Amino acid sequence: MVGKRLVNTGGAAGAAAFDPLQNFETVTYTGNGGTQKITGYIRKGAAFNGSSSYIDTSVSVLPADNYTVSMWVYHNSLKNSCALYTQYRGTVTGRHIVNSNANGGIQINTSSTNSLSSITATPFTTNTWQHLVVTKSSTSGYVVYIDGSSIGSWSNTDNIITDQSTQFGGDTEWSGDHWLNGKIDQVRIFDKALSSSEVTTLYGETYADPKKSTTDFFGDGSGVALYELDEDANDTGGGTSIGQTGIFNGSNSRVEIPNNTVNFSNAHTISLWCNPDTLKFAGLFTQYTTYHANICLTADGGIVLAGGSSTAALGTSAGTIAAGSWSNVIAVNAGGTTTYDFYVNGVSVGSASCFAFSGRPTSIGSNASTSTSFADYFDGKIDEVRVYSSALNSTDIGYIADNDTANIPTSTLAAHYKFEGNVLDSAGSFNGTATSISYGSWSYDGTPTNVNFLGMAFQPDLVWTKSYAGLNWWHFIQDSVRGTTSALFSNRTDAAGTFTDAIQSFDSNGYTIGSTGSLNYDSSNSYVAWCFKAGGAASLNENGSIDSQVSANQDAGFSIVKYTSTSGGNHSVGHGLGVTPEMIIVKRVDTTGEWYVFYNVVDGSWDYMTLNTTNAKADFDTFNATNNTTFYSGPASSGETYINYCFHSVDGYQKVGSYSGTGAVNNQINVGFQPRFVMQKRSDSTGSWNIIDNLRGDDNYLSANLANTEGSMTASSFHLTSTGFTLDNSFSEWNASGGTYIYLAIA
């Protein structure tokens, strides 16, 4: 999944892995003509406009009797009956609504007009992120927490009516103005009432938490859904992988896999996720012999190892596995024995010995590989079946139970059945054969309407904004080195302009903007911003013939350099990257002047083009002396001030490169990663500087040298791929036969 992987940039041993999401981000948003914070809480958050924005899951996500909803909430303004999350059937008896009100209070309505509005005067306030938790118990009712502290309770224990969809940020069924003007982030739903200590733990969750993308946060199977709200309203997954899963009908569904998947006489581990619709005795992973060896579910939600007419109970209590919830089951055999150690959701539940697996016909979802009178078929969903040729340790078991995809072991993985519309083995060649299996997505994905996803996991140092729908506003470029009031325009030669209503502040997880039209005119204008992390506040760099102010992010291969020439002629200037840059974008800021883009990725020597024009390349030999500490400015007079954006390639994250056009379809450009941003230009002839990003879609482009709103590709000519991008027509600006092109790609 794009953005979820970490990139190892070869740093010192023990150094944290490089995370692309903490160094570059694309955000899109709608103007509002006033102050607007482009921030989330944990990376991005969902922004609601107060009149028509909402997220609809189309199904009920809230459990009927015991549940907890945890979310971060940001109110731009307070008003009566502002829906935070709802289930509403159009009648009073079908109501379940949690609101904030004009006093900053909280209301809970279920099947009546009863509310919690009197428990506190003003728990909510405006213009700040606050953590809301609502727990509901079938025996004691509701408890509400704000920022980790209980603010009151309500004794209503009515069950939730679950035959309607869950919505966030608005309510399409309830007449009147019940729309949130604000943001929501990191929504978690559990099928139990959390304890106060667990609420405190959630209150402390940050982007740095390794479980920020894990639904089953507490490792006990209670996690129902997680909405990270980073770029969409999808559920991160109810205990198993996002995507499809195998659906077993309970009467004849099964999957037969090859007998030689592993040597079951040696050490091995079997792991699977199951979500039973009905609790009954049923096979999960079995081998059929005269005396068969079966890992089975029991009618009371336990796990047993069964063989022949005997059953070896594990001592698991009833309810270890619940109907309607995902559970991870792992069986570990150390080899040379019939004893298995069992784990449910990462917790040891005991051991048992029975008949050994012995290379006989193997089945998933039934305790027989052929239809027999004693076959016990599983009724529900099974996903992510893994077979290992080793006995996994408790650490690896924990990774699987937490669905920690970055650390789930693979070195001894013999077979892996993902049930992505089939029963193919993604780890090897042990493909299965399915009988009466269907496939479906069982995460509770939401559909956003008029919702933007704002923010990032870092404080940006360069923000490049463009209106992509609405009016033809200029490109608007601001950075932390020049300060919040200074702006440049890539499609213009103008000197830096002074704006007090543009970026107001660079914030820890985004930035705040004012009402200037190029950033925030009104709701008829949509904007995209490409945000880069440099090194924060600039520091003095005394490398070279003149001093510079530098903000450098060496890990990301990006720095911002500002200098003022002290005399005429060429100057060497420190850039702070520690390696030789491959692209430098230069603009004089104190008067009019071209935007120069210097690069050395075609033939090893330095050329330049102008960002504000379509001109072809020209040589610039002075830059050939650029090295790992300095670049050369070219001729300048005393007192001229310049800003420079410097880039070099970083394996797995950023690539400054070139390619040749073919004039044909399927011209594949390999950059070594899946890019979220690409800027490219033809260098041997005229052409625009075209920018594509993953949020607006790779059918749409903006041109750095034009004020125009976005254009559309003809015949879907550009595709972002898992390894780079592909060109599929002969358009001169993209893929002319024999044409030479340069690009900057960022993951």
Res 11: pLDDT = 42
Same domain? 95 vs 57: yes
Res 114: pLDDT = 54
Whether 309 has a pLDDT exceeding 60, the answer reads: no
Same domain? 154 vs 280: no
- Residues spanned by the domain of 435: 244-441
CB 653 within 8 A of CB 744: no
Per the structure, how many domains does the chain have?
Answer: 4
SS3 398: helix
Same domain? 251 vs 340: yes
Q: Which run of H or of E encompasses 724?
A: strand 724-727
**Of the candidates 612, 647, 682, which is a domain's last residue?**
647
CB 329 within 8 A of CB 274: yes
Has this prediction a pTM greater than 0.85? no
Same domain? 166 vs 277: no
**Of the candidates 227, 255, 271, which is a domain's last residue?**
227
Same domain? 606 vs 706: no
CB atoms within 10 A of CB 430: 19
Mention every residue, 6+ apart, whose C-beta is less than 8 A from residue 309: none
CB 596 within 8 A of CB 705: no
Res 715: pLDDT = 57
Same domain? 173 vs 256: no
Distance CA 128, CA 119 (A): 21
Q: Does 364 map to a domain?
A: yes
Query: Residue written as tokens 């594509």?
Result: 692
pLDDT tens per residue, range 527-540: 999 999 999 999 99
Q: Does 395 map to a domain?
A: yes
pLDDT tens per residue, range 42-78: 999 999 999 999 999 887 889 888 999 999 999 999 9
- Range with lowest mean pLDDT among 321-330, 501-510, 559-568, 621-630: 321-330
Q: Does 398 map to a domain?
A: yes
Q: Does 690 map to a domain?
A: yes
Distance CA 286, CA 308 (A): 12
Whether 316 has a pLDDT exceeding 70, the answer reads: no
Relative to beta strand 618-619, strand 44-49 is unpaired
Same domain? 401 vs 252: yes
**Of the candidates 407, 441, 475, which is a domain's last residue?**
441
Same domain? 282 vs 181: no
Whether 307 has a pLDDT exceeding 70, the answer reads: no
Same domain? 61 vs 181: yes
Q: What is the layout of strands, in order, in the sheet containing 711-712?
A: 654-660, 740-746, 677-682, 690-693, 700-703, 711-712
Q: Using alpha carbons, list the distances in angstroms from residue 729 to 680, 715, 725, 734.
A: 16, 8, 13, 8
Same domain? 624 vs 659: no
Same domain? 220 vs 260: no
Same domain? 208 vs 342: no
Res 65: pLDDT = 87
CATH number of the domain that 79 lies in?
A: 2.60.120.200
Q: Of 55-59, 317-321, 557-561, 635-639, which has the strongest mean pLDDT?
A: 557-561
Mean pLDDT, rounded, for 520-528: 96
- Residue 400 class from Cβ within 10 Å (0-12 exposed, 13-18 middle, 19+ buried)? buried
* Arithmetic mean of pLDDT over the chain: 89
Cα-Cα-Cα-Cα torsion 652, 654, 659, 661, nearest 10 degrees, comes to: 100
